[in-house]
Chains A and B, each alone.
Chain A
Amino acid sequence: DTAVSQTPKYLVTQMGNDKSIKCEQNLGHDTMYWYKQDSKKFLKIMFSYNNKELIINETVPNRFSPKSPDKAHLNLHINSLELGDSAVYFCASSRNRGLAGVAELFFGEGSRLTVL
């Protein structure tokens, strides 16, 4: 059973289109994240949700809108896609904030978005 699963794994689309990437985790975690990995492999956080509440928004353009219908799901919708949005988008989850100890992030396999 995949712990953190993302769909689709690959997405090719035209500039100006709107697309969504879905993420689901079956680990019972309360916190979920979206990270973007650019063409130079640099990973940067975009959003974090804890129990369906947005807790981190790293100055991402408002064309990107995360939605968390429940704590096991965090979807990413992107409007008016631009060439610079081409990247690999990783979903991740971790256990609840405030618990003692290290909260390891569990990552999905990534979704490669190509904007033409």
Chain B
Amino acid sequence: QVQLQESGPGLVQPSETLSLTCTVSGDSINSYYWSWIRQPAGKGLEWIGRMYNGGSPNYSPSLKSRVTMSVDTSKKEVSLKMRSVTAADTAVYYCARAGEYGFLDYWGQGRLVTVSS
């Protein structure tokens, strides 16, 4: 059974860097794309980006200048860093797995990140 678990600080200061980790268990981290998606309270889903181990990441154009994703195969972790955050970045952040094509078949439970001083 594939399981994804997001972790990281739940509170981030404005202008600082949001850092989240997604730990994968139950399957290999290779051979899949790993995406980050976020959801502000009461709103819809926004795709942040995806990456494939050993490949180039693919980011949403609207966030590309502030986002970095990476994969650590030895720890089976996928990470997200988002720089210069503002209150508009407050959301539940999900990691999710995609196969070759892009539909998201496994999701983590999500991590609420609040940007506030």
Asked if A and B are interacting partners, one says no
Which residues on B are within 8 Å of A, measured CB to CB? none
Residues of A within 8 A of B (CB): none
